[in-house]
């Protein structure tokens, strides 16, 4: 009886002891370029993301203002006209990875289903995509991409520029998680 109690206790304490991996400098990129026009793309190198390796839950946050464009004027338009980054400074993602098992991830890439809610400009959208996981030394790497539409988040593109901005915006992520102490 004592043994069973001890095993149970160990199991419970194992499952409640959440091990987390995180990054503060994740790379989030979006591309909305149309061929033959000026590239509409930007990179955010300060995305925060946390992953609970016991449950496979993931949460991430980025500041819209921290997206860097090659053209400064485009960055200004992005923040002021399209994203309203002073009213909605953050974009977040909360979700989970199906069948996430930390010990099964090795240096060879493994594709797993990532599902969750992306919130941009206060509007929520469900996202489902395949994400590639691998381990490099003591880091956990996650790479994925998915497409969204400006109208999903009530972003109105003026007619005059609509031909220069892609209908589907491709968002790609590359995060290097390290163990949270």
Partner 1 sequence: MYPETVTTIDDKGIMLSSKIYCQLKQVTDLQKINPSNNISIKGRIIGYDDLLEELKLDQCIIQ
Judged by the rule CB under 8 A, the positions of this chain that interact with partner 1 are 22, 24-25, 45-46, 48-50, 59-61, 63, 65-66, 89-90, 178
Tell me the C-alpha distance between 23 and 27, whole Å: 10
Whole-number minimum distance, CB 59 to partner 1, in Å? Answer: 6
Q: CA distances (Å), 18 to each of 1, 12, 54, 131, 146, in order?
A: 27, 11, 6, 22, 28
Q: Which of 128, 126, 44 is nearest to 89 (CA)?
A: 44
Q: How far is the CB of 180 from partner 1 (least distance, A)?
A: 9
**H and E: helices and strands count for the chain:** 3, 9
Least separation, in Å, of the C-beta of 51 and partner 1? Answer: 11
Residue number, 63 or 102, with CB nearest to partner 1: 63
Question: Residue 31 or 94: which CB sits closer to partner 1?
Answer: 94
Nearer to partner 1, 70 or 111 (CB): 70
Place of tokens 């061929």: 35
Please state the closest distance from residue 88 (CB atom) to partner 1, in A: 11
């Amino acid at each position: 009886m004592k043994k069973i109690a001890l095993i149970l206790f160990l199991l419970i304490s194992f499952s409640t002891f959440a091990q987390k991996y995180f990054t503060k400098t994740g790379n989030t990129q979006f591309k909305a370029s149309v061929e033959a026009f000026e590239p509409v793309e930007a990179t955010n190198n300060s995305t925060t993301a946390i992953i609970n390796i016991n449950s496979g839950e993931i949460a991430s946050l980025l500041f819209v203002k921290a997206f860097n464009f090659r053209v400064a004027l485009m960055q200004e338009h992005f923040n002021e006209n399209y994203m309203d980054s002073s009213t909605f400074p953050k974009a977040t993602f909360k979700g989970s990875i199906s069948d996430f098992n930390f010990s099964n991830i090795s240096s060879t890439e493994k594709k797993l289903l990532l599902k969750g809610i992306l919130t941009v400009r206060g509007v929520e959208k469900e996202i489902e995509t395949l994400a590639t996981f691998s381990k490099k030394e003591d880091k956990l790497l996650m790479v994925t991409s998915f497409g969204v539409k400006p109208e999903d988040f009530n972003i109105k593109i003026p007619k005059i520029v609509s031909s220069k901005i892609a209908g589907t915006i491709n968002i790609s992520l590359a995060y290097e998680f390290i163990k949270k102490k």
